[in-house]
Amino acid sequence: MCGNNMSAPLPAIVPAARKATAAVVFLHGLGDTGHGWAEAFAGIRLPHVKYIFPHAPTMPVSLNMRMSMPSWFDIYGLSPDADEDEAGIKRASENLKTLIEQEVRNGIPSHRIILGGFSQGGALSLYTALTTQQKLAGVIALSSWLPLRKSFPQAAANSANKDMHVLQCHGDADPLVPLMFGTQTAEKMKSLINPANMAFKTYRGLPHSTCPEEMVDVKRFIEKHLPAVSDE
């Protein structure tokens, strides 16, 4: 199955309470949709920020016995040496870059856009930010990893985001994407961007999910790097 013509439903969009001068694009994890994350962000929204929660297309996932479910790309295994769906990751990344371009055309400059995601969605956000020529405000990666990590640093040669800010968060009780993956990703990220702009936070007892403490950290990161502008 080729996958190029797989279409996903339109994103869940939470408009800004006043004129949108910034945006957060946040990608869900495997088997999920954008709606749950739209609800999770409800309590931390900022009035000048537009929030976009895309839905992944449905495809067979090798990790789950080829069952069809929402997925940004195929996953063969969750170990550091597992094979990766290089073509699918790159295709999904191009689609995400197109979504960013749409927001730029809508009047929000790319440097006022934060990419983010949970698990597989965070993986795609990290990969896209490192390989795009669109200058971004930053990335939020929750319970995540950097895909195709052996392609770096070469894959990031033309990146506009060597000084971007990254918030990476991980539960220390994650049974699906172990904390070690998060730690390895944080170390790799420090070699690809300004290490002073890389924050890695862990949460005691947190499994493969989020928690209120983590969402407060996410809100603070967005407030800091997408501040209100004076002409609103």
Q: Is 59 exposed, middle or buried (0-12, 13-18, 19+ CB in 10 A)?
A: buried
Smallest Cα–Cα separation from 121: which of 152, 89, 98?
89
Catalytic residue set:
119, 174, 208
Q: Is the pLDDT of residue 4 over 50?
A: no
pLDDT at 3 over 50: no
pLDDT given at position 231: 56
* 70-118 confidence digits (pLDDT tens): 999 999 988 778 999 999 999 999 999 999 999 999 999 999 999 999 9
Residue 167 pairs with which residues in a beta bridge? 140, 199
Q: Which domains does the chain have, with CATH numbers?
A: 12-226 (3.40.50.1820)
pLDDT in tens, 177-222: 999 999 999 999 999 999 999 999 999 999 999 999 999 999 999 9
